[in-house]
Amino acid sequence: MQTNLTVKSSVVMAVALFMGSGAFAANMAKADYNTQKTQIKADYKVDDVACDKFTKNEKDVCEKKAEGKEKVALAELEMNYTGKPKDATKLAMVKADTAYETAKEMCDDKSGNDKDVCVKEAKATHTKAQADAKMNRQVNTAHKEASDDKRDADYKVAAEKCDAMSGDAKSSCVAAAKAKFGKS
């Protein structure tokens, strides 16, 4: 039988894994992506078969862990393949959801108030992990917007400096400013 501490630890560990994983730039070839996806699915089948040695709720918990491991691995693969912030947020949500599902399953070994408390703790940790994922998405969006604003301001200063010039020198200056600050 799992203790509340073990259930909380499982969920907290999943959240910590999310916090420790940063967004990676997309630098994976499609063939590598497909190979890894196939391997993840094969690993899941092996993990699922390994659960057959258990019975009752132990088997259910094992199966939830195997499912969760597959879902997280697929979400990580997708994030690593695309490098999109949206996929990083999706990964965080998948980690939170799978940790919650596993924690809830672990609570099934309990009864009465102990079970109720266990489920509430799992739900509270899940809600916190979801909130962290949303907050990280909002922080990343704000950071990008701030960077864009700073770049725009720097471009305006550089373009203004070019206004003091004329002819080819001004054209070269404007072209250089546009290139430097990503303007077209």
Residues 30 and 48: their CA atoms lie apart, in Å, by: 27
Are 23 and 103 members of one domain?
yes
Q: Are 77 and 24 in contact (CB under 8 A)?
A: no
pLDDT at 134: 78
pLDDT at 66: 92
Backbone angles phi, psi at 64, to 5 degrees: -65, -40
Q: Please indicate, yes or no, whether the overall pTM of this predicted structure exceeds 0.95.
A: no
pLDDT at 50: 92
Residues 51 and 59: their CA atoms lie apart, in Å, by: 6
40, 44, 45, 51: CA torsion to nearest 10: 160
Domain count along the chain: 2
Are 18 and 60 members of one domain?
yes
Are 28 and 111 members of one domain?
yes
pLDDT at 155: 87
Are 38 and 65 members of one domain?
yes
pLDDT values of the chain reduced to their tens digit, one per residue, 184 residues? 444 444 454 444 444 444 444 444 456 788 888 999 999 999 999 999 999 998 898 899 999 999 999 999 999 899 888 888 788 888 888 988 898 888 888 888 888 998 888 888 888 888 888 888 777 777 777 777 788 888 888 888 888 889 888 899 999 999 998 898 888 7
pLDDT at 26: 55
Residue 31 covered by a domain? yes
Contacts of 122 (CB under 8 A, 6+ apart): 7, 8, 11, 100, 103, 104, 106, 107
Are 15 and 40 members of one domain?
yes
Q: Radius of gyration over alpha carbons of the chain, in Å?
A: 24
pLDDT at 67: 92
Q: Which amino acid, residue 39?
A: Q
CA distances from 132 to 50, 59, 93, 97 (A): 33, 31, 9, 13
